[in-house]
Amino acid sequence: MYTFDTDAPFIHDDSQYLIGTYQRLPVEFVEAHGAVLTDSEGRDFLDFLGGIGAASLGHCHPAVVEALHRQIDRVWQVGNYFYVENRSELAHGIADLLSTTTDAMGHVVGSTSTRWKTFFANSGAEANEGAIKLARRWGEKNLAGASTIISAKKSFHGRTLATLAATGQDAFHKTFLPMPQGFDFVSLNDVSALEHKLDVLAEGGKQGACAIMLECIQGEGGVWPAENSYLRSVREICDDRGLILIIDEVQTGFFRTGAPFSFQLAGIEPDVVSQAKGIADGFPMGAVSARAQVADLLGPGDHGSTFGGNALAAAAGRATVETLVSQNVGEHVIVVGQHLADGLAELPHVSEVRGKGLMRGAQLDIPIAGDVVDAALAEGLVLNHIGDSILRFLPPLVITEGQIDTMLGKLKEILERIGNGN
């Protein structure tokens, strides 16, 4: 059992000099490899959060470390007016992943002939900003200026103002009003509510819809999956009405669910896909990809980023994506993800397990999730909770069954103890 020194100097420095937007746990990590984090006291922790779903290949994966070392002595940042190594190779790799087809488990079965083009940004929110601009341009060019983007209640698309406006959770909007205009919401998995919303908006001319924007599994909202049949209906509705379908793969992308991208599990193909988190194994990077007909609506001057896709990020991203593919990480995720889900379902106070691959949510039947996360930290486990009764698991994709079993054993004991009021 670990104890923490809450008088440690780093804790005081943090609250004195940093804006208090995070409630931090009392631990300072100084090293990380694979799925193991090491703190400043030399204690090891098994990581089931993975830098909030970013450490796809595991912390400090040798292939990414080598790519960054190679790049760091040569050139980092020249701006997007110039070519740099690895940027177009990474975009090519992403295009190949986006045109992959899988079965409903995530096993690769083939590919489409869709041509995908990518814009590189630095985060998930920025990736979605690009997606929103593409949708508005689409509405301007093809739908007589229709501008509304419909997303789902309980969704999460980022913290910039436009992505916050696209986020279907009032709690995030309340104290930052007014929100940017042109966003509306429907309940996930309700096809008739979506059609009704589109009919009402269509009567409003420029307020009509230009795009639908969804996560295939709502992550921040509590790990709530969209049904495959719903996603297929949304695709059909978009086709019938000429809208574009944006899938936010920021949390679900890059094999998190077993498939390269989660939309592939439903057998659909979106028009625009936003990405970040796992794209560069934790090095800051975001991307928005669109099929060529949509991507080509943007030209010089329409969008940009000083840092997006710079030489360091491109090197990290290329090494990550190539290694994810060459190591067949998706197949590993399918197997260990099922092992995690089965193990969670056996635990006391777990009433439901949701999600796919290594993106899982355990619904608790009592509101103890925060206490469980605190207790787990003291036992050398990094866990995460959403609200007071959902535990969320986003481990590095290289996590082993043995590491999962170690976590499950400790979590069982913690749930029993706290669940019994001890």
Ligand X SMILES: Cc1ncc(COP(=O)(O)O)c(C=O)c1O
**Residue with smaller CB distance to ligand X, 382 or 418:** 382
Nearest CA to 205 out of 135, 161, 261, 146 is that of 146
- Determine contact, residues 66/401, Cβ cutoff 8 Å: no
Site for ligand X in 100-139 (CB under 6 A): 123-125, 128
**Residue with smaller CB distance to ligand X, 25 or 200:** 25
**Residue with smaller CB distance to ligand X, 220 or 271:** 220
Q: Is 212 in the site for ligand X (CB under 6 A)?
A: no
The DSSP call for residue 117 is: E
Shortest spacing between CB 172 and ligand X, in angstroms: 12
**Residue with smaller CB distance to ligand X, 125 or 201:** 125
Q: Give the H or E element holding residue 130.
A: helix 124-142
Q: Residue 358 burial (CB < 10 Å; 0-12/13-18/19+)?
A: buried
Shortest spacing between CB 20 and ligand X, in angstroms: 18
Residue showing the smallest CB distance to ligand X in the complex:
124
Cite the beta strand spans of 34-176 per DSSP E: 36-39, 44-47, 100-102, 108-111, 116-121, 148-152
Query: Cβ atoms within 10 A of the Cβ of 155, count?
Result: 21
* Amino acid of residue 312: L
Shortest spacing between CB 214 and ligand X, in angstroms: 10
Question: How do strand 100-102 and strand 108-111 relate by DSSP bridges?
Answer: antiparallel
Stretch binding ligand X (CB under 6 A), from 85-93, 215-223, 295-303, 354-362 = 215-223
Shortest spacing between CB 410 and ligand X, in angstroms: 26
Window 231-260: contact mask with ligand X (x via CB under 6 A) = -----------------x-xx---------
Q: Is 262 in the site for ligand X (CB under 6 A)?
A: no
Shortest spacing between CB 281 and ligand X, in angstroms: 14
**Residue with smaller CB distance to ligand X, 1 or 19:** 19
β-strand partners of 355: 360
Q: List C-alpha distances in Å: 277 to 53, 122, 250, 270, 331.
A: 6, 10, 6, 19, 20
Cα–Cα distance measured from residue 325 to residue 320, given in angstroms and rounded to the nearest whole number? 9
Shortest spacing between CB 255 and ligand X, in angstroms: 16
Window 146-165: contact mask with ligand X (x via CB under 6 A) = ----------xxx-------
Query: Cβ atoms within 10 A of the Cβ of 141, count?
Result: 12
Q: Please work out the total of residues on this chain that contact ligand X, with binding judged by CB under 6 A.
A: 14
Q: Which two tokens stand for residue 216?
A: 């295939």
Q: Is 61 in the site for ligand X (CB under 6 A)?
A: no
- Determine contact, residues 96/330, Cβ cutoff 8 Å: no
* Amino acid of residue 305: S
Contacting residue, 219, 258, 278, 395, with ligand X by CB under 6 A:
219
Cα–Cα distance measured from residue 97 to residue 93, given in angstroms and rounded to the nearest whole number? 6
Cite the beta strand spans of 48-99 per DSSP E: none
Stretch binding ligand X (CB under 6 A), from 108-116, 214-222, 315-323, 409-417 = 214-222
Shortest spacing between CB 171 and ligand X, in angstroms: 15
Site for ligand X in 265-304 (CB under 6 A): 276
**Residue with smaller CB distance to ligand X, 64 or 368:** 64
Cα–Cα distance measured from residue 167 to residue 151, given in angstroms and rounded to the nearest whole number? 7
Shortest spacing between CB 366 and ligand X, in angstroms: 26
Give residues in contact with ligand X (CB under 6 A).
123-125, 128, 156-158, 215, 219-220, 248, 250-251, 276
